[in-house]
Amino acid sequence: MASIQQVEAIMSIAVVQSRALLGVEAVAVTVEAHISNGLPAFAIVGLPETAVRESKDRVRSAILNSGFDFPSRRITVNLAPADLPKTGGRYDFAIAMGILAASRQVESSKLASTELLGELALDGSLRRVFGVIPSIQAAARARHTIIIPTANRAEMNLVGNEDSWSVSSLIDYVAHLRQGEELAGPAPNETSPGCDCNREMIPVRGQLAAKRALLIAAAGNHNLLMIGPPGSGKTLLANLLAKLLPPLNADEAMEVAAIRSVSNVRGNCRCWFCRPVRSPHHGASGAALAGGGSKAQPGEVSLAHRGLLFLDELTEFKPNALEALREPLESGEITISRANYRLRFPARFQLAAAMNPCPCGYFGDTRHECRCSQDRIDRYLGRISGPLLDRIDIVIEVAALSQAELLSQAGEVDQHGLERLRYQVSRCRELQQARSGRLNSELQGKKLEQACRLSPKLEKRLAAVMEQLALSARATHRVMRVARTIADLEGSETIRNQDLLEAVSYRRCQILRPLLR
């Protein structure tokens, strides 16, 4: 008799596969459902947080309202590995199917090599979950079939995995297992790599020197800081820089889409290939910028991955928030450590920042009198640390335009001029990728030496500039990268004297001279 009971206990266990999120990585989670004799109870173990523990009530109602039997026995659901925190309602679908399989209402063998994701409504329908794109990619690498809610269909279409399917409810999936009802697979992605989100084009007048700096920054993906009085056009110039950036390629678009999916940021599916542009308010905390928080979500630096992060009113940001930018600006990623695990979020973004030269905004302006004392100006500029400025390639002063310049259309960048500049940027970036396999701003080590090789005469000149401006080794390398980009824009195979001098000029801002070391 004991052996018969053991066999029945073994047969009342079902195993279903799912996925948890650890940063932007989708980690395999095994959902084990066991039904045994005893007083009716429902327990979920495996380090579940509140939303996962509450899935007991959602799963029970979804099973009953879908017309299936909910076992009046002791139910134990284990989410393995046990030491990995489980969050959200993404396991509802897998838990429900595990219970149906353990109670023999569906064949457990049909769930082998299949991963299930989805949050259940009380009527048994499936709701959208976040982090689907990394899960689909991980399932494809594991050669598993993955079933996701219909609400996540746009993300499934972007990945295009042939073994991914969408379903709208628990009833529909059980009908597929029992009667072979067809599920919806990925549809062809109709979004072209060259699409544009068509943000409104506002003509930018004057500021020829600033536009030249924007072109160089866009061509080489260099970080940029603009300093000028209020109303000088710094925000308009930042918008122009965003429009100069070429669309994402397929691999970059997938990286950006994965971060958006993990962050639960819903974007227009027609703009998958548009580079992200983020402009957080200056009241943002360090966790909002760099990522983290109680549930360790990606921050603005990760949401701007492969795109532009614009920080307006730079000096108004909290110092600890700005200092959090130093690591991702150098490494292209951000690492968040917790007691039991570490999360890594990609953060290879281009920084564009704008600030006033002093608290009143008119230091150095010939048309307005500055009301700030030198001590007050020094404290104001001191909010930006030297190490952070050391990671900025181009610093420019944006002077206020005169009334004549505002009314004149000379040098105005219209839609036709924008297309011409974008072509220059795209051609320059293609040249860099063909030469080094990366953009000039990302050159390191041997690739930096090979791409930015200087003649003996220019080496001596750069050494003299280093001594005169007291440049650090990092700043010197950034000068060389900017000079390489200028040479690429001019179609020169080698860095010339004028290229190097122009690059050096972008680190000679008189207002920040004491900090640019």
* DSSP conformation class of 384: S
pLDDT at 512: 64
Q: In the predicted model, what is the mean pLDDT of residues 450-469? A: 90
Nearest-angstrom CA–CA distance, 95 and 30: 10
CATH no., domain 208-438: 3.40.50.300
For the chain, the structural domain boundaries read 2-179, 208-438
Band of pLDDT at residue 66, cut at 50, 70 and 90: very high
DSSP letter for each residue of 40-63: -EEEEESSB-HHHHTHHHHHHHHH
Whether pLDDT at 189 is above 80: no
How many Cα atoms sit within 13 Å of 356 on the Cβ side?
17
Q: For the chain, what is the mean pLDDT? A: 89
Q: In the predicted model, what is the mean pLDDT of residues 320-337? A: 91
CA 6-91-187 angle, 5° bins: 120
Whether pLDDT at 515 is above 70: no
Whether pLDDT at 168 is above 50: yes
Whether pLDDT at 304 is above 70: yes
The verdict on pTM exceeding 0.85 is yes
Band of pLDDT at residue 166, cut at 50, 70 and 90: very high
Contact, 370 vs 243, CB < 8 A?
Answer: no
pLDDT at 338: 75
Q: Which residues pair with 169 in a beta bridge?
A: 125
Whether pLDDT at 511 is above 70: no
Nearest-angstrom CA–CA distance, 210 and 118: 49
Whether pLDDT at 141 is above 50: yes
Band of pLDDT at residue 1, cut at 50, 70 and 90: very low
Whether pLDDT at 195 is above 80: no
pLDDT at 2: 47
2-13 per-position pLDDT tens digit = 454 554 444 589
pLDDT at 4: 47
Task: Assign domain 2-179 to its CATH architecture.
Answer: 2-Layer Sandwich (3.30)
pLDDT at 49: 92
400-426 per-position pLDDT tens digit = 877 776 666 655 666 777 888 999 999
Whether pLDDT at 497 is above 70: yes
Q: In one letter, which amino acid is 373? A: S
Whether pLDDT at 154 is above 80: yes
Give the residue, 267 or 141, on which the prediction is more confident.
Answer: 141
pLDDT at 365: 82
Nearest-angstrom CA–CA distance, 517 and 263: 37
Whether pLDDT at 431 is above 90: yes
Q: Which of 156-165, 187-196, 332-341, 437-446 has the lowest mean pLDDT?
A: 187-196
Q: In the predicted model, what is the mean pLDDT of residues 32-53? A: 94
Q: In the predicted model, what is the mean pLDDT of residues 314-323? A: 94
228-280 per-position pLDDT tens digit = 999 888 999 999 999 999 999 989 999 999 999 998 887 665 678 889 999 99
Of 482, 476, 478, the C-alpha closest to 502 is 482
Q: In the predicted model, what is the mean pLDDT of residues 70-96? A: 94
Nearest-angstrom CA–CA distance, 100 and 258: 32
Nearest-angstrom CA–CA distance, 79 and 81: 6
pLDDT at 240: 92
DSSP letter for each residue of 327-363: HHHHHSEEEEE-SS-EEEEE---EEEEEE-SSSSS-T
In this structure, the number of other CB atoms found within 10 A of the CB of residue 430 comes to 12
Nearest-angstrom CA–CA distance, 20 and 335: 18
Q: Cα(first)–Cα(last) distance of the chain, in Å?
A: 83
